[in-house]
A and B are shown apart, each in its own frame.
Chain A
Amino acid sequence: MSNIQLKAPLTINWAINNNCNFACSHCYSREDTHDDLSRDVLLACLEKVAKAGVFSINFGGGEPLLRSDLLEISAFSSSLGLKVSMNSNGWFIDENMAVSLKKAGFTKVGISIDSHIPEVHDKFRGVPGSHARALAALMHLKAAGINTSISTVICRINSETIDELVAMALAAGVSQLNFHNFKCSGLGMSNKDELDLTPDEWKVFYKDAIAAKHSVKDLDISLDDPIIALLDARDAGTLVKGSVCGKLSLNIKANGDMTPCGFIPIVIGNIVSDDLQQVWKDSDILDRMRNKQPTGKCSGCSKYEDCLGGCTARALALTGDMNNPDPHCWGSETKGE
């Protein structure tokens, strides 16, 4: 599977706006000042995406619910046969909005929650009361029949609270708890010294998270970090080796710029003016991401075949070279772990 060159992404993560009512300490898009695409242009782009064969769109932002035309955009996407989901902070999702989202075709909504402790989450997100609103949103979404998940970016405020986060997710009745690795993009780069873990701390976190994943029933604990290959913990069903970015998924920014993922600031085209399949097929950057070459300690690592150097975005952000080893990697030169 790892060598298949698909004709188009399976999934597009689409940041349809940059504005947000929150002020998160790790925000990757806060500094993006480009204009959002207009409704008409966006709908035309969605048609292009569906025609290219993309299966699903995951809307993000900013906070996507700050786009007044989000429901229309979703309904249109759904009518094209696209499977529609969204990541939101949950602030604007009350009972009525949850029902509207369901009617507009949303099959899944992920709510970002960074801590089981309301005060910690609220401070991190910069908005008092946001934890309570996030949990309420999950309740309304579930009642409306929308599949829900919690997304948590792992960092210093939550890395030692796996059990508590799992308990919160179970109490909220979500189907999935996503533990996202910390990226050094946007404010995540500015605040990395305060928020990021050391490689050895990542190792401890992932060992504990994998143990929880195996022991907790009725909840899918998702770990999207390629470096867990060092712990022989990549799911058997993992679709590709290394990162999925540029192999299965692509990112589109609010102004239509296409990037390999939301955390790699290299523009490879624009969905308004370029052909998606052509960019997907011909981009030199995507080609490099699909054919990474081991450097440094990766060169002698027995886990490289599965891990492919870990998260490309992190390697690029912190070392300037996407082929360099993921700075989060705790592995030794020859034995992986």
Chain B
Amino acid sequence: MPKIMHNPDVLWRRETEVTDPVSDDETVAGILFSGGSMLSLNEFALEIWQICDGKTLEELVVSLMPEFDIDEETLRLDIREFLDSLSQKGFIRYE
């Protein structure tokens, strides 16, 4: 299974403080920026971004599963959907 690799040109930052109350899905927790493209991330997406470099999709699923009260397949689909959006914008690549 291919590993996910950050594009080293991507700049990112947290927009909220880690000590802030847990945000809802709509709150922008962080942003990614590269070459004129920007992506805003909610807390879930930001966590994936922070841990995905060098991991496979399955490793991400195993890593995140304990944190969410959803079935594994739903989590896998959610992560894959986010990774697809990152890949389309060139923020990650697979190797």
Contacts and interface: CB of A to CB of B under 8 A. Distances in A.
Interface stretch (B32-40, B49-57, B59-67, B69-77): B32-40
A4 B40 contact: yes
A6 B31 contact: yes
B28 interface: yes
13 contacts: A1-B38, A1-B40, A4-B28, A4-B31, A6-B15, A6-B31, A7-B16, A10-B38, A53-B13, A55-B13, A235-B36, A237-B36, A239-B38
Interface in B1-49: 11, 13, 15-16, 28, 31, 33, 36-38, 40
Given A4-B28, A6-B31, A237 B37 contact: yes
A213 interface: no
Residue among B15, B28, B38, B40 with the highest chain A CB neighbour number at 10 A: B38
Contacts of A56: 11
Given A4-B28, A55-B11, A239-B36, 19 more contacts: A1-B38, A4-B31, A4-B40, A6-B15, A6-B31, A7-B13, A7-B15, A7-B16, A10-B31, A10-B33, A53-B13, A55-B13, A55-B33, A56-B11, A235-B36, A237-B36, A237-B37, A239-B37, A239-B38
Contacts of B38: 1, 10, 239
B84 to A, nearest CB: 17
A235 B38 CA distance: 13
A67 interface: no
A140 interface: no
Contacts of B40: 1, 4
Interface string A45-76: 00000000101100000000000000000000
Contacts of B15: 6-7
Interface residues of A, number: 12
A4 B33 CA distance: 14
A83 interface: yes
A83 B36 contact: no
A258 to B, nearest CB: 20
A35 B31 CA distance: 36
**What 7 A-B pairs have minimum CB-CB distances, sorted nearest first?**
A55-B11, A53-B13, A239-B38, A7-B15, A237-B37, A4-B28, A4-B40
Interface in A1-59: 1, 4, 6-7, 10, 53, 55-56
Interface string A297-329: 000000000000000000000000000000000
A239 B35 CA distance: 11
A235 B15 CA distance: 25
Contacts of A53: 13
Contacts of A237: 36-37
Interface in A189-241: 235, 237, 239
A158 B75 CA distance: 55
A222 to B, nearest CB: 9
Contacts of B28: 4
B37 A83 contact: no
A166 B28 CA distance: 39
A6 B31 CA distance: 9
A220 B28 CA distance: 30
A211 to B, nearest CB: 21
Contacts of B36: 235, 237, 239
Nearest to A237: B37
A324 to B, nearest CB: 29
